[in-house]
Amino acid sequence: MAMALRWYSTVVESTDHKKLARWWAEALGWEAIFETDEESVLVPPWALELSEKLDFHQVPPGMVFVPVEHEKSGKNRLHWDFAPHTSDDRDAEIARLVELGATVIDVGQPADATWTVLADPDGNEFCVLSSREQ
C-alpha cells in the first residue's frame, strides 16, 4: 500500500478561539479535549474510544482553534459541508444552528440549491447539505 497522510485536523483562526471552539462543540456535538491560550481542540466523542482500536490512518480528524489578532476578511476558499441524516429534520437543524449564532448567508449559490450556506459567529462559511442516508 502506498504511503498516505492522515487528515489530522482542520485549524481555524479566531480572535476568540475558545469561544468559537465552544460554539462548534455545541453545533456538532463534539467534545473539547484540550484548551489553552494557544489552542482549543475538538474531536467527535466516539473518536476517543475508537482511536485506540483504529489504524492510525482511520482515526477521524479533529478541529483546532487558534488565536489571531486580525478579523476574518473575505470569503473562505475552503469550507465544511455537513449533512443531516434522512431521519433528521433538516430545517430544524438549520434553525438550531441559527439560534446558536450562525447566520444564513448568500455567497452566490443558485436559488434552487439543495444546500444552505451559513456562517459561524466568526463569519466562517459552511453548508448544510440535503438529507442523505450515507
The tens digit of pLDDT for each residue in 44-73 reads: 998 888 878 888 888 889 999 999 999 999
* Overall average pLDDT of the 80-89 stretch: 96
CATH class name, domain 9-67:
alpha beta
Q: Where in the chain is the domain with CATH 3.30.720?
A: 9-67, 80-128
Residue whose C-alpha is closest to residue 12's, from 118, 88, 125, 94: 125
Residue 55: what pLDDT? 87
Residue-level pLDDT at 109 = 95
**Band of the pLDDT at 2, cuts 50, 70, 90?**
low
Average pLDDT, the chain: 94
Class of CATH domain 80-128: alpha beta
Q: Phi-psi category of 108—alpha, beta or left, where left has phi over 0 and alpha has psi -120 to 50?
A: left
Instruction: Note the pTM of the prediction, 2 decimals.
Output: 0.91
* pLDDT band for position 1 (cuts 50, 70, 90): low
